[in-house]
Chains A and B, each alone.
Chain A
Amino acid sequence: MARGFSRQQIGVTGAMIDSYGDLIFQLSHNMQTRRGDPIRTLDFEGIEASRDELGMSDGQIAARVGLSEPQVMYIRNMMERRNFNSRHYHRLLELGGGKRFREERFTDHTERFHYHDDAIALREAMAFAPDRARHYSEQGWWADDTLSGWLARHVSQRPEAAAIIQGDLVINYADLGDRVDRLAGGLHGLGLGQGDVIAVQLPNIAEYLISYLAIARLGGVMTTLYMPHREREFETLLTHSRARALICLSDAGGFPAAETALGLKLPKLQSVIAIGPVASAVPGAVAFEDLANGTASANKLNLPLPVAADPFLLLYTSGTTASPKAVPHNSHTMLGNARLGAGEHLLTADDVILSAPPFGHLFALYSFHLALYTGAANLLLATFTPPDLARVVEDGRATALFTAPAHMAACLGMGLFDKHDWSSLSLAVLSGSAVPGDMARAVAVKMPNCAMTQLWGMTETQGGLYCRPGDGIDIASRSAGRPAPGVEARISDEGELQVRGSMLFPSYFDNPGANEAAFTDDGWFRSGDLAARDAIGNIAITGRIKDIINRGGVKYNPREIEDLLDGHPDIAQSAIVPMPDDVLGERACCFAVATDKNLDLNQVCAYLLEKGIAKTKLPERLVLMDEMPMTPTRKIIKGRLVLPEI
């Protein structure tokens, strides 16, 4: 409408707007040019001569172009609308009060950073139940924790304190902060940034932790690959995680990790960053050293700091299922749990914390999270062997050890508690698999001043249940203690341990089927572990729900039989798994690593009968193995036990 008339009444068409619109816009006051100062000087000739440049009224334009005034008015208003740039307003928000606009320094909002689709998809997976989120926040379990924030706190408050100790190398917090800042700057230089997934396959060396912190500083997401992973796992996990970069060794004990990753030609993998003396010789790879020693600085580049709700870890479960599930975590779940746990484990800035399992495993990262929260030192053991562990504890004067039961059993078996000085330890946290009570008690005897504790956790939960240092070996040898702060635990009618709490992952990434199976209707996480709670609330893990053997309707947990077999003089390790049976549905098969290669099923059954085991629970087949497939935390991977053809 113009002056109350419609477009049709004044005869304006789309063609007319297209034809004359630009001319009208230019002639109007929207674009003004003044030559000299004709109005102030009342130079009427000059004013008339420059009228079209000074900006004409609609009537003047109408006369000039040969349209009616209502037509010009209509077309001008439409052109103002079409040319309108609503984004100009956003510049205003960044200006003034001392800040001055500089054209060359301004990036249009549309050209600024935005999360790419993969990052958004991962962020979509961070969906928490609203009532839970509010509760955790109100309780203070979720706060503004970030790895970068914790690191910055120690850099400013205790710059000289040791952060990482690896043999003779001691990196203090100031130095660590500097290295992280430069590596994050270097990664940024490779085009990596917020929301990008960066995979790491490294032994427990300083570069692992520096990389982890740099990825976190960048706002990226670390996903971990275990050292034994080879081409097949690389392809599966790097593809599923949508990793944009991989940090790995150029030569992982004969395995050319960097070269292998590059050879896969994964479309999303932009960069492979190699560590090692021959790193620069890997064609196509970037040498870690070059990034770490570069001049780029995340802080000087003013890269935005991550926030607690940002996902920063994407871990693949160490469970025994065939297809791995990706567990995303943010700082709320991970670091809140560590912050609340530090006091429970009685850890302080004076501690020297050592993890025997690899950092690729969340239990090991938990030890690092605790160290970074408290400002303790991280004592590193690159790769576990029993003698190396004993030596590093002794040399590094470790005060807290995070370890798997199998690690301790091996040290015990090799007499390393007698050969080395373990007296610096005041805390040992055992996790990763069932803790044999006898072994725990035996180790406790060897370290009378060290509190032995058990922890139950999963990739989905980090520290879920644990014994407290004052509990004593009686409780620690038979249970995983009580829920961590912020955690609730219940045991279902089927005996399954179910948990919920501020530490719980929100959902598996890109795996709806797994999500459906993982949570109860009321939002509790099904751990898949069988558990029992004692009178004072300590929870013992008694087996895996899927390990339960259903022999013709008689269901039993094979754990008690495995525990008995582990005490058999000729058996080093055992695992009982169901084998399909046409008549009974399932029967039990025992896999064992035996010192006596002639051990047979009858001997095993006789031993078990002697121990009072019912006949219906006896294994009905024995398979002898040279070694068991193990997780990094030394847990037998039952899913990989394949029945040989008879």
Chain B
Amino acid sequence: MEIDAEDAKKTILDYCLRKGALAAGVADLAALERIAPPGHRPSDLMPKIKSVISLGVGGQTQGAWSVPAKAMGYFGSTETRAYTIAYGAAFLIESRYQTPAIYCPPDMDNEKGPRVPLQSLKLHAEVAGIGARSLAGDILLHPEFGYMYFASIFTELELPPDQPMETNPCPAPSCVAMYRQIGRTPCQKFCPVQCLSGSIDEDGKQAEMHYDMAACAEMSQQYEAVPAMLSEAMAAEDAQGREDALFDPDNKMLWYKMSVGSGGLLAQCFECMRVCPIATKAPLADPIRRSIAKEGV
């Protein structure tokens, strides 16, 4: 079967956009293979891979930014929409082009523990040109769509790659102005665990980005707290200490989150994004403005 690669790419990306993705692109596989460490390269997962397609769906609704941080984690499940689109796109490729495709598992690498993903969806999206690393711990930002959730499709179908974004929207001009005044950008200033730092050069571009990922994970990804609580209970001196370790309201909440598979157990705190002008105020980041733009209201 003769497949027009350009045409196929357009068909697949259009499908993604039609199904709700805000942006989609094809990453340069060779670049990914060079950048990703061994064990996490696309070919480690799909030996005959030819293309990586990345797509992003809208992050928070505009209203979500005003809810308390303790509730923000539950808004994170928008990423499942991205996975659904990716899943559909993989089916589309197989049915239309009779070429194997997979929806790239977004999960952690079973062998390496919960801080190491199988694949970096971030890397795919960045190389596909639908996001650029920000000073907020390398969270990808898009100049039009702000903050998105990403999903990837791997396929043995060869598609022409896109280029990474030409310019990085981060830091926004207002962030540069703040940095010049106080030496910190909004995301750096307002991160509750102060895990972000870095500098901006004379041209207003990112010079250095430091990110204490461990501290960020401790803020909202509680998996380490569960065994910690158990070992505290075992080490407790008396019955009251054991009771506290297992059943005090904080710890009991962890049991609850575990038992229901709560979204709040694996989330960000989002404070860096809440104050980020791009995440919240990029022209089409806000679903309300986006729909107005679309409907032309």
Contact = CB atoms under 8 A, between A and B. Distances in A.
Interface string B167-192: 01000000000000000000000111
Given A36-B207, A88-B192, A101-B271, 10 more contacts: A28-B115, A33-B209, A34-B208, A40-B133, A42-B31, A55-B213, A57-B37, A59-B38, A96-B71, A96-B271
Contacts of B207: 35-36
Interface stretch (A75-83, A286-294, A353-361): A75-83
Given A32-B211, A39-B127, A101-B271, A95 B39 contact: no
A3 B115 CA distance: 16
A41 B31 CA distance: 11
Nearest to B216: A88
A247 B123 CA distance: 68
Interface residues of A, number: 48
A40 B132 contact: yes
A25 B217 CA distance: 14
A44 interface: yes
B39 A57 contact: yes
B126 A39 contact: yes
Contacts of A101: 190-192, 271
Interface string A62-83: 0000000000010011001101
A323 interface: no
B40 A57 contact: yes
A84 B218 contact: yes
A37 B208 CA distance: 9
A32 B271 contact: no
A95 B68 contact: yes
9 contacts: A42-B28, A57-B40, A59-B39, A60-B37, A86-B225, A88-B218, A89-B225, A95-B70, A100-B190
Contacts of B133: 34, 37, 39-40
A47 B127 CA distance: 13
B69 A95 contact: yes
Interface of B: 28, 31, 34-35, 37-40, 66-72, 111-113, 115-116, 123, 126-127, 132-133, 137-138, 164-165, 168, 190-194, 205-215, 218-220, 222, 224-225, 227-229, 250, 269-271, 274-275
Interface of A: 3, 25, 28-37, 39-42, 44, 47, 55-60, 73, 76-77, 80-81, 83-86, 88-93, 95-101, 103, 106
A93 B208 contact: no
A39 B35 contact: yes
Nearest to B66: A97
B207 to A, nearest CB: 7
A443 B133 CA distance: 90
Contacts of B138: 32, 34
Contact of B113 (A73, A84, A98): A73
Given A3-B111, A32-B211, A96-B72, A40 B218 contact: no
A91 B193 CA distance: 8
Contacts of A88: 192-193, 215, 218-219
Contacts of A29: 115-116, 213
A29 B36 CA distance: 13
Given A40-B165, A95-B269, A86 B126 contact: no
